[in-house]
């Protein structure tokens, strides 16, 4: 997994609440058996005016000029600013892959859906929760200021605005540790193989019908 | 000893170890696998030369991509076909239990798990699918997981997780005639909102839940995720045990008696504490119809499409305006004035035998209305289909002008050929009414099977209680 330490990057504001995973990556793209190549289809139904199918040349499709991601001032954005309950809906990790394939490293929102939140950490995408009032302020500033960037520092656990205003954020120590070091969960868990086997041995006597 | 919730009991029984910050390694008893969220996980295992920890715990089935007719011709869409074939190869390579297309046991993963007895009380159950919450109906701790977690469980039999908060939703009293499990859960989501359960494991209780069949309880737990909760659950009682008894994967002989004794403990202690308790009066629940693009945008069938101008929260009002526009609806319209183009009876929420019987009862002796372009029933599994046919239910639907299909997810998410065209309006028994969920530009209204049948025969949303 790619490490995450600090990032200073352009912010793209997506002013909708309850953005669901069907919107982040529509189902026709879930037929892929890979983890890559989802970037062109991030927010496909909103980003393009014509219906999309896998295998198309997405560079030649009709762009929706009103959609925020298509506006030139947000080109190269790596921080997505969103409203509450971001990533609700299905468990598809393809939603996270689409965001990271596109180039996003951070999503800031007042709240996230649980499974999406969890999936993000496994892919080096930092889902960052800030108070609704602060998110509101960031929306106002990002929309009013072309080239608006934020600095996200995972060591210090702060988000810093261009004017130097700093907002602290919370993150689970274990997840933070994994992100900072780019650690692979499976490798870590397998170090506890003895514990897992001991659990199984105990469980086999308590609930033998499960084995 | 301190009083425990059902969730506490399930959690405690599965913790392998706990990190300092509370992150636990949770042991997983049953891993259900389907074709869409597993290929990258199996590939990950192969790339790192890791083995499966306990291949015996896995049951695999293709459901999302499979065609619901002309199965003898295989899967026409080459990309869908590749995905299903990839699952087949992985199953063979890793030696897993598998119900392929054409096997009578094939069907939607959340229908076949319980049907086979692969889901048992007291288990931890995971699947790379958010509606895994369904299995909690058995007094199990069941959760949807992402693909990285699928790989993690395959390799380690464990999940890294922090304990969630606990919520009890108590549905007091009894529902009236014509009101079903689907209406109960839609009313709950209308009450607490689509993010109301985020961060919680929800236990559904109260007399109205106790009175439900296992099918009904599965419908309720299925949609826990639409309230934001990764896990939903119902305590074990005779209804649970009677359902499980004799199923192919259920314990037999002495193990059965031992298991039943243990399962009887799977309920919250009387004085257990929950982080949040919500009471809902069952008698006040009417048949429900969603009007918008989120399951919380729901109305009783006697209701009118709401007006965003009457909502003070600007972000919410804007969301409602967007939903009204997408759905092609005007504020103030009685929902029973809204006509429909297509009917979909199916999905892991409502494609079990009881659901199909309920719809058939309404359809019997009637015909699909002239303005309805397509009405289809997609049974949840081959066995559901077989049983429904044995009861003559397929004839009732076919005689009325419905199509009767092969089992799978179908138009619940339209990954196969079944889908809505732009602007088409559908009465659907599935669980998500998101934009374009059932096809680009399609408009989904979530309802119970009986209400979908009522919409089919009247051509609009109708109160099923007034049909007779
Ligand atoms: S029926 Fe629908 S919600 Fe259920 S598993 Fe299939 S696609 Fe998902």
Q: Are residues B211 and B314 in the same domain?
A: no
Q: How far is CA B15 from the centre of its chain?
A: 26
The boundaries of the domain holding residue B113 are 6-263
Say whether both B323 and B252 belong to one domain: no
Q: How far is A22 from chain B (nearest CA, A)?
A: 7
Residues A52-91: tens digit of each pLDDT: 998 889 999 999 999 999 999 999 999 999 999 999 999 9
CATH of the domain at B413: 3.30.499.10
- For residues B312-321, give the mean pLDDT: 92
- Label residue B74 by pLDDT band (50, 70, 90): confident
Cβ–Cβ under 8 Å, residues B464 and B450: yes
For residue A2, what pLDDT band results from cuts at 50, 70 and 90? confident
* Residues comprising chain B, all counted: 468
Q: Indicate if the pLDDT at residue B1 is higher than 80.
A: no
d(CA A84, CA A82): 7
Q: How many domains does chain B have?
A: 2
- Of B160, B255, B436, which is closest to A185 when you measure between CB atoms? B160
Residues B358 and B411 in one domain: yes
Residue B34 structure tokens: 């389907």
Residues in chain A: 211
> Do residue B257 and residue B294 come from a single domain?
no
Give the binding-site residues of ligand 1, using a 6 Å CB cut-off. Answer: B 63-64, 108, 110, 129, 131, 347-348, 409, 412-413, 430-431
What is the DSSP track for B396-409? HHHHHT-EE--SS-
Scored b (16 or more CB within 10 A) or e, B285-295 reads bbbbbbbbbbb
> Is residue A202 classed exposed, middle or buried when 0-12, 13-18 and 19+ CB atoms within 10 A define those classes?
exposed
Residue B109 Cα to ligand 1 midpoint, Å, equals 8
* Residue ranges of domains in chain A, CATH in brackets: 12-148 (3.20.19.10)
Mind listing the pLDDT tens digit for each residue in A122-159? Answer: 999 999 999 999 999 999 999 999 999 999 999 999 99
Q: If you average pLDDT over every residue of chain B, what do you get?
A: 96
Q: Residues B31, B172: one domain? A: yes
Given B229, B263, B297, the domain boundary residue is B263
The pair of three-digit structure tokens given for residue B265, joined into one six-digit string: 């403990």
Q: Give residue A1's pLDDT.
A: 80
Residue B247 and residue B315 share a domain: no
pLDDT tens, position by position, A188-199: 999 999 999 999
Residues B10 and B50 in one domain: yes
Q: Are strands A6-14 and A79-82 parallel, antiparallel or unpaired?
A: parallel
Tell me the backbone φ, ψ of residue B7, rounded to 5 degrees.
-60, -45
Q: Would you state the pLDDT for residue B468? A: 66
Residue B76 has pLDDT above 90, yes or no: no
| pLDDT of amino acid A127 | 98
What is the DSSP secondary-structure string of B112-130? Answer: HHHHHT-S-TT-EEEESSG
Asked if B439 and B420 touch (Cβ cutoff 8 Å), the reply is: yes
Q: What is the pLDDT of residues B359-393, one digit of tens each?
A: 999 999 999 999 999 999 999 999 999 999 999 99
Distance set, CA B207 to CA A103, B170, B201, B280, B448 (Å):
50, 8, 20, 11, 20
Q: Which of A45, A93, A174 sits opposite B435 (nearest CB)?
A: A45
Residues B247 and B303 in one domain: no
Same domain, yes or no, for B336 and B431? yes
In a domain, B358, yes or no: yes
- Measured CA angle at B415 (ends A64, B65), to 5 deg: 155
Same domain, B15 and B126: yes
**C-alpha distance from B224 to closest chain A C-alpha (Å):** 11
In whole angstroms, what is the distance from residue B305 CA to residue B320 CA? 10
Question: Is residue B275 included in any domain, yes or no?
Answer: no
Q: Are B164 and B230 in contact (CB under 8 A)?
A: yes
Whether A87 and chain B come into contact, CB under 8 Å, resolves to no
pLDDT given for residue A191 in this prediction:
94
Distance (Å) of CA B238 to CA B135, B141, B263, B452: 17, 19, 10, 30
ipTM above 0.90, yes or no: yes
Q: What is the DSSP string of B41-88?
A: HHHHHHHTTPPPS-GGGEEE---SS--SS-GGG--SSHHHHHHHHHHH
| pLDDT > 90? residue A184 | no
pLDDT of the residue at B70:
85
pLDDT tens track for A24-61: 999 999 999 999 999 999 999 999 999 999 888 999 99
Tell me, what's the pLDDT at B79?
A: 87
**Residue B247 and residue B128 share a domain:** yes
**Assigned domain for B1 exists:** no
Residues B252 and B116 in one domain: yes
- Can you give the pTM of this predicted structure? 0.94
Atom of ligand 1 nearest to the CA of B346: 1
Q: CA nearest A150: which of A117, A87, A106, A109?
A: A106
């Amino acid at each position: 997994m790619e490490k995450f330490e600090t990032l200073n990057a352009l912010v793209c504001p997506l002013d909708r609440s309850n953005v669901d995973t069907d919107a982040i990556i529509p189902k026709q793209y879930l037929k892929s058996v890979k983890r890559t190549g989802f970037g062109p289809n991030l927010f496909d139904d909103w980003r393009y005016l014509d219906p999309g199918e896998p295998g198309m040349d997405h560079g030649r499709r009709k762009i929706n000029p009103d959609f925020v991601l298509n506006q030139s001032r947000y080109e190269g954005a790596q921080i997505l600013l969103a409203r509450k309950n971001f990533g609700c809906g299905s468990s598809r990790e393809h939603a996270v892959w689409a965001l990271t394939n596109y180039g996003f490293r951070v999503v800031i929102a007042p709240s996230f859906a649980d499974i999406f939140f969890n999936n993000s950490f496994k892919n080096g995408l930092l889902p960052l929760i800030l108070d609704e009032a602060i998110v509101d302020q960031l929306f106002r500033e990002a929309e009013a200021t072309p080239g608006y960037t934020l600095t996200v520092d995972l060591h210090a656990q702060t988000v810093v605005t261009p004017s130097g205003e700093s907002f602290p954020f919370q993150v689970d120590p274990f997840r933070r540790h994994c992100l900072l070091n780019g650690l692979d969960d499976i490798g870590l868990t397998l170090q506890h193989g003895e514990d897992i086997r001991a659990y199984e041995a105990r469980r086999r006597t308590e609930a033998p019908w499960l084995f | 000893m301190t009083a425990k919730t059902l969730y506490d009991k399930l959690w405690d029984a599965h913790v392998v170890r706990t990190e300092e910050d509370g992150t636990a390694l949770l042991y997983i008893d049953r891993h259900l696998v389907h074709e869409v969220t597993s290929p990258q996980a199996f590939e990950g295992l192969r790339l790192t030369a890791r083995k499966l920890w306990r291949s015996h715990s896995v049951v695999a089935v293709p459901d999302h991509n499979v065609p619901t007719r002309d199965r003898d011709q295989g899967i026409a869409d080459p990309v869908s076909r590749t995905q299903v074939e990839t699952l087949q190869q992985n199953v063979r390579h890793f030696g897993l239990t598998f119900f392929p297309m054409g096997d009578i046991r094939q069907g939607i993963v959340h229908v076949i798990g319980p049907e086979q007895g692969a889901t048992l009380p007291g288990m931890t159950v995971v699947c790379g699918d958010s509606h895994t919450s369904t299995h909690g109906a058995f007094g199990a701790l069941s959760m949807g997981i992402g693909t990285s977690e699928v790989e993690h469980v395959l390799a380690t039999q464990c999940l890294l997780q922090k304990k969630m908060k606990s919520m009890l939703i108590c549905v007091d009293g009894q529902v009236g005639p014509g009101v079903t499990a689907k209406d109960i859960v839609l009313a709950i989501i209308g009450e607490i909102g689509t993010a109301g359960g985020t961060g919680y494991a929800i236990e559904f209780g109260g007399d109205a839940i106790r009175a439900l069949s296992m099918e009904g309880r599965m419908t309720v737990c299925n949609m826990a995720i639409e309230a934001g909760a990764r896990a939903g659950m119902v305590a074990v009682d005779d209804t649970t045990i009677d359902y499980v008894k004799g199923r192919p994967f259920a314990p037999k002989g002495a193990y059965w008696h031992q298991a039943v004794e243990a399962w009887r403990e799977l309920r919250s202690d009387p004085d257990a504490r929950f982080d949040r308790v919500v009471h809902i009066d069952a008698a006040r629940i009417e048949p429900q119809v969603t009007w918008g693009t989120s399951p919380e945008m729901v109305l009783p069938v006697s209701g009118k499409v709401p007006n965003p101008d009457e909502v003070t929260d600007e972000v919410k009002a804007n969301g409602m305006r967007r939903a009204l526009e997408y759905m092609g609806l005007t504020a103030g319209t009685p929902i029973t004035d809204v006509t429909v183009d297509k009917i979909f009876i199916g999905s892991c929420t409502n494609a079990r035998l009881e659901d199909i019987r309920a719809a058939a009862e309404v359809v019997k002796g009637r015909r699909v209305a002239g303005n309805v372009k397509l009405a289809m029933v997609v049974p949840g599994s081959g066995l559901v289909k077989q049983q429904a046919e044995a009861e003559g239910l397929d004839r009732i639907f076919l005689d009325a002008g419905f199509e009767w299909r092969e089992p799978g997810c179908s138009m619940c998410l339209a990954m196969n050929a079944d889908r809505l065209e732009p602007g088409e309006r559908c009465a659907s028994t599935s669980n998500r009414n998101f934009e374009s969920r059932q096809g680009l530009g399609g408009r989904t209204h979530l309802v119970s099977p009986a209400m979908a049948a009522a919409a089919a025969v009247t051509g609009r949303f109708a109160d099923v209680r007034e049909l007779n």
